[in-house]
Amino acid sequence: MLIRPAQLDDVPLLSEIEQSAWPKGMASTADEIRSRVELFPAGQLVAEIGGKVVAFATAQRVPEAFFNANRATFPAVTDRGRIVGSHRPDGDVYHLIGVCVLKSHQGFGLARVLIDRQIELARSLPGIRRILGVTRPARYHKRSTLSIEQYVVLRSASGRLVDPVLAFHLDYGARLVTTLPGFRPEDHDSLGYGVLIEYPVHVEPAHKRT
């Protein structure tokens, strides 16, 4: 498997992967993806297997004040997906916008590899103070009698978070910051909610020397 920054000629295929992976009405368009590749190519990572691009993780750098003022909705914090008015080359927040994997290639750890690579990249860039993302409580529609606060911490008997997309982040090093009602009203599975999560920029060494 090869992980590399996206190029402009990947855009049509990335748009197809988005269409294949996301629920109806949530995929980024080719124009949105092209704009992100033009403005911040290093932050648009693709996974290639046998010469074929099969997964995509997209990010931007935004000033923390902008993030805080605009985090309530996806169009506001991403400037309608195009990042023209949101991405700044010296932004101190590394914003993980999204990750998606071609349907036929889901379940093999590709999204984890891509997000781990994004985190590695963010940690290597000068001036990054926070790594934030807004993820999806994607099975909330199945437990809608619970409040969102109850749902996001709900674990099965085995101790895993019940929601697989939340587990994807929260059981792999991210912390839950807050829930965002109406973040993506078109996300019917998540009842419109987003969940703001944060990965640590600085990793404590396992054994501190005294």
Ligand X SMILES: CC(C)(COP(=O)(O)OP(=O)(O)OC[C@H]1O[C@@H](n2cnc3c(N)ncnc32)[C@H](O)[C@@H]1OP(=O)(O)O)[C@@H](O)C(=O)NCCC(=O)NCCS
Residue window 132-171: x/- pattern of binding to ligand X, with contact defined by CB under 6 A = ---xx-x-------------------------xx-xx---
Closest by CA to 55, choosing from 8, 115, 143, is 115
The site that binds ligand X (CB under 6 A) totals a number of residues, namely: 20
Residue nearer to ligand X on the CB measure, 22 or 123: 22
Give the shortest CB-199-to-ligand X separation in angstroms.
Answer: 13
The owner of tokens 């010469």 is 51
Write out the binding residues for ligand X, residues 76-115 only, by CB under 6 A.
98-101, 106-112
Of 190, 198, 132, 201, give the one whose Cα is nearest residue 165.
Answer: 190
Shortest reach from residue 64's CB to ligand X, in Å = 20
User: Nearer Cβ to ligand X, position 127 or 182?
Assistant: 182
177 near ligand X, rule: CB under 6 A: no
Cite the beta strand spans of the chain per DSSP E: 2-5, 44-49, 52-62, 93-101, 130-135, 175-180, 194-199
Tokens representing 165 are: 């997309």
Confirm or reject binding of residue 71 to ligand X (CB under 6 A).
no
* Binding residue for ligand X, selected from 3, 21, 45, 77, defined by CB under 6 A: 21
What is the Rg, in whole angstroms, of the alpha carbon atoms belonging to the chain? 17
CB-based contacts of 2, cutoff 8 Å, min separation 6: 47, 48, 49
Pick from 16, 19, 22, 185: which binds ligand X (CB under 6 A)?
22
> What is the crossing angle of helices 11-21 and 30-39, to 10°?
130
Binding site for ligand X (CB under 6 A): 21-22, 98-101, 106-112, 135-136, 138, 164-165, 167-168
